[in-house]
């Protein structure tokens, strides 16, 4: 019996050491990269975070290309920031980023209707599968840290 107790105490010591050495920022980077990759892939698939197909742009229809990736400036501007609040995913400071994310009237005199072509998920769009993947990333990082402790 005392051997089991000793093993358990050693496990707690390892766990305490792992938690002390645990760096949430590293897991945050992994999750941020995963979210960024998923957003970029949405441009290639031409679909929203919910899997709804974007309506094709006039340029894409005329040229046989893909919507929102003629030069891929918007797609390639997708980045994330980490801070105390969490992970912030979004495009770079492009003047047309919001109109594509939310849709609305654009152009001279705001006479052109741009349909919503959402590429960044709203918080409620994060699926259970994505949450499980994020949880797995945290668990994997803790297990890896315990192995090093």
User: pLDDT tens digits, residue range 128-138?
Assistant: 888 888 888 88
Share of the chain above pLDDT 90, in %: 48
CB neighbourhood size of 12 (10 A): 10
Write phi, then psi, for 139 (nearest 5 degrees): -65, -45
Mean pLDDT, the chain, rounded, equals 84
Share of the chain above pLDDT 70, in %: 86
Q: How confident is the model at residue 102 (pLDDT cuts 50, 70, 90)?
A: very high
**pLDDT of the residue at 9:** 54
Dist. CA 116–CA 128, nearest whole Å: 24
Q: Does 24 score more than 90 pLDDT?
A: no
Q: Does 7 score more than 60 pLDDT?
A: no
DSSP code per residue over 13-48: HHHHHHHHH--HHHHHHHHHHHHHHHHHHHHHHTB-
DSSP code per residue over 45-93: HTB-TTSPBPPPPHHHHHHT--TT-SS-HHHHT-EEEEETTEEEEE--S
pLDDT tens readout for residues 103-143: 999 989 999 999 999 999 888 888 888 888 888 888 888 77
**pLDDT of the residue at 15:** 62
List of residues 6+ apart from 108 with CB closer than 8 A: none
């Amino acid at each position: 019996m005392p051997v089991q107790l000793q093993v358990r105490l050693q496990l707690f010591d390892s766990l305490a050491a792992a938690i002390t050495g645990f760096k949430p920022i590293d897991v945050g980077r992994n999750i941020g990269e995963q979210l960024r990759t998923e957003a970029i892939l949405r441009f290639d698939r031409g679909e929203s975070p919910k899997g709804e197909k974007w309506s094709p742009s006039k340029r894409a229809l005329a040229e046989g290309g893909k919507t929102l990736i003629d030069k891929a400036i918007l797609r390639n501007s997708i980045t994330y920031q980490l801070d105390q609040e969490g992970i912030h995913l979004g495009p770079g400071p492009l003047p047309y980023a919001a109109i594509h994310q939310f849709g609305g009237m654009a152009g001279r005199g705001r006479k052109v209707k741009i349909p919503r072509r959402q590429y960044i998920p709203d918080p409620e769009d994060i699926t259970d599968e994505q949450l499980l993947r994020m949880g797995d990333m945290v668990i994997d990082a803790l297990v890896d840290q315990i192995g090093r402790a």
